[in-house]
Structure 1
């Protein structure tokens, strides 16, 4: 599993994952922040419910889909963590906001 080096410097950003308080370094993507906070799977597949985790970390595979601030199906590897951001792991597919 991904672990941040103990001497990592930088501004800390506070956000929530499924309602619990978490921290990341400013500039981290949501996918990287999830892994750094011990989140193993960020979504489940809509048909079988199989867990999925960030894979490519460059926006190609869509395995890092999460809900961010009530907007579903966001690619966590393409979004930078912001202070106060609410990240939720997804269960199956989520309809896009209209």
Structure 2
């Protein structure tokens, strides 16, 4: 899978209002009512790289019970992508600052 293809394909509810946000410094678009996880996986092949192996991760339980979907905002706030709603203007980071490994590199 190429890193610029989404992991998820939206099949319904495509007429909801767009929500614009930033993902690792790149402008991105979601739909009103999406979770952060949905917003990211409709534009990218993985949510983030594993902290342990560097392999791509896309969430695990999808209900907020595990630790697989934690990401950060540019201001350092940690959030659970599967249970946090996307908001206009969010500036999200899927890689740990100071590392060169990104989920996009591993999702090819």
TM-score, normalized by length of structure 1?
Answer: 0.78
Cα offsets for 1:59-87 (capped at 9, x unmatched): 01221111124234311011111111001
Which of 56, 60, 69 is 2:65 aligned to? 60
May I ask how many residue pairs the two structures share in their alignment?
Answer: 91
Distance 1:43 1:91 in 2: 9
Q: Is the 8 A contact 1:49 1:91 kept in 2?
A: no
The equivalent of 2:39 in structure 1 is 33
Instruction: Identify, as 1 or 2, the structure richer in strand.
Output: 1
Distance 1:82 1:31 in 2: 12
Q: Is the 8 A contact 1:45 1:91 kept in 2?
A: no
Q: Is the 8 A contact 1:43 1:63 kept in 2?
A: no
How do residues 74-85 of structure 1 correspond to structure 2 at under 5 angstroms?
A: 74-85=79-90
Aligned-residue CA RMSD (Å):
2.1
Does residue 16 (structure 1) correspond to residue 19 (structure 2)? The answer is: no
Which consecutive unaligned segments of at least 5 residues does structure 2 have? Answer: 1-6, 98-108
Distance 2:42 2:51 in 1: 25
TM-score, normalized by length of structure 2?
Answer: 0.71
How far residue 7 of structure 1 moved from its aligned partner, in angstroms, is 6.3
